[in-house]
Homo-oligomer: A and B are copies of this chain.
């Protein structure tokens, strides 16, 4: 890497790109990026040009020798890249809106990662990711694939099982958010905490919390369940509050997405209401994105606008740039990422993707052991893992029965007949993005 670091960002026209650019600018001293290739497809060209121009202004302002290249030629971008990041969205937000709305017709939460909507996002995304892996093995075999694209757990699972590419990490800003939230609850600096995570992407739990080496897990659970109601949450999940006695006995801080599973009926009601009022999450985001791009067009703008954080991507840059930086500098710090289990969680298949604390070395993340899943969550976590594995298989094979099996075993889906109906509707709606099912 003596040539300076080359980054290729697939889905470079995303509204998140300024986050990423800011991250690279901040870390330039230890992470001397020389080239950032922002790649997108024809349909995303306009956005790519807008956000690309902003990226260039940001770098110009920082006065750094980083070259930003905008391209529709993925192979050129991948050629000799050191790190490939993915933040693309097959079918864009309109597809996500369908993933959310169609299940609502069946009194079912869509949920774009671990729900029926996530199944379809996976079916659209995984073939593209696997194609990128193939190209990477040819064009930049030493590069790391840093995947942000949701469903990040299912995508990482698919790469681990169906690609020869070994250098893959799946990323989520969830664990960082939980850790920051816990620091807020305790009113301490985050640096004094050690938080042990276990689980899967969007199905992760803070199972042990240490402040200056002391186990304060119970104290945090107590603080989270007082009347004052300090809760740890992600901005893009509604704060509904947990039943205090439930949370105390659970003894772990669940990521906000767990509300889909432990508060299914409430979340469904919320989403049904939203669909009738401000729109589904995709529709809201679409408006936010539109506003963001309007801001981005401003040729005076040369920094990341604060409105971006409300988009839900807080800490995304932190997660991605920290990871890349730690790999590049062999920093050996601890980050929570999606990687091959290898026994870190004792009762999950060693070859599966899990979201756990890892030491980030130059040869990649090495998971820290976290033992067996606690009894109360053993089943639900395994259920999502079963779903991810079956969904990944369906994405690769294009087999209808496998897709139906994945849909039916998803814990949000009310019955096999609803599963079939939703599957058929969604296959119909997304046909153009699912060539493997049309053969």
Interfacial residues, chain A to chain B (CB-CB below 8 A)? 107, 194, 196, 210, 212-215, 242-243, 245-246, 248-250, 262-266, 327, 330, 332-334, 341-344, 346-347, 350, 357, 359, 361-364, 366-372, 375-387, 389-390, 399-402, 404-405, 408-409, 411, 414-420
Pull 28 A–B residue pairs with CB atoms less than 8 Å apart, ordered by A: A107-B265, A194-B330, A194-B362, A213-B327, A213-B330, A243-B408, A243-B420, A245-B400, A245-B401, A246-B420, A249-B399, A249-B401, A249-B402, A249-B404, A263-B415, A265-B415, A341-B369, A342-B370, A342-B371, A367-B368, A375-B390, A376-B386, A376-B409, A377-B409, A378-B382, A379-B380, A379-B381, A379-B411
For residue A167, which residue of chain B has the nearest CB?
B213
Q: Indicate if the CB atoms of B262 and A408 lie closer than 8 Å.
A: yes
What residues on B are CB-neighbors of A249 within 8 Å? 399, 401-402, 404-405
Asked if A344 and B361 make an inter-chain contact with CB atoms under 8 angstroms apart, the answer reads no
Most buried by B among A246, A265, A404, A419: A246
Contacts of A380 in B (CB 8 A): 379, 383, 386, 409
Nearest-neighbor residue (CB-CB) of A328 within chain B: B213
Q: In the complex, how many angstroms separate the beta carbon of A367 from the nearest chain B beta carbon?
A: 5
Cβ B363 vs Cβ A366 within 8 A: no
Does A359 lie within 8 Å of B363, measured CB to CB? no
For A266, the chain B residues whose CB sits under 8 A away are: 415, 417
Residues in B with CB closer than 8 Å to A264 are: 414-415
Closest to A416 in B: B243
B363 touches A250 (CB 8 A): no
A342-B369, A368-B367 given; A416·B362 CB < 8 A: no
List chain B residues, Cβ under 8 A from A327: 213
A386-B390 in contact given A243-B408, A343-B346, A418-B265 (Cβ < 8 Å): no
Q: Which of A342, A380, A400, A416 has the most CB of B within 10 A?
A: A416
Distance in angstroms between the alpha carbons of A380 and B405 in the assembled complex: 13
Residues of B within 8 A of A362 (CB): 194, 210, 212-213
In Å, the complex CA distance between A248 and B387 comes to 17
Q: Complex Cα distance A368/B333, Å? A: 13
What is the CA–CA distance of A367 and B371 in the complex, to the nearest angstrom? 10
Complex Cα gap A342–B327 (Å): 26
Chain B residues with Cβ under 8 A from A378's Cβ? Answer: 382-383, 385-386
Q: Report the Cα distance A357→B212, complex, angstroms.
A: 22
Chain B hits for A372, CB < 8 A = 343
A401 and B361 form a contact (CB under 8 A): no
Given contacts A249-B402, A368-B367, A379-B409, contact A416 B213 (CB under 8 A): no
* CB pair A416 B382 closer than 8 Å: no
Apart from A332-B333, A367-B368, 15 more pairs, CB < 8 Å: A196-B366, A210-B362, A212-B330, A212-B362, A245-B400, A262-B408, A262-B416, A264-B415, A343-B344, A350-B371, A357-B366, A366-B368, A375-B386, A378-B383, A379-B380
A265 touches B414 (CB 8 A): yes
Cβ 8 A contact of A214, one of B262, B363, B400, B419: B363
Which residues on the B side are within 8 Å of A415 (C-beta)?
262-266
A132 to B369, CA, bound (A): 29
Specify the chain B residue showing the minimal Cβ separation from A248. Answer: B401
Whether A405 pairs with B212 at a CB distance below 8 angstroms is no
If A213-B330, A382-B382 touch, whether A375 touches B389 (CB-CB below 8 Å) is yes
Q: Complex Cα distance A375/B157, Å?
A: 14
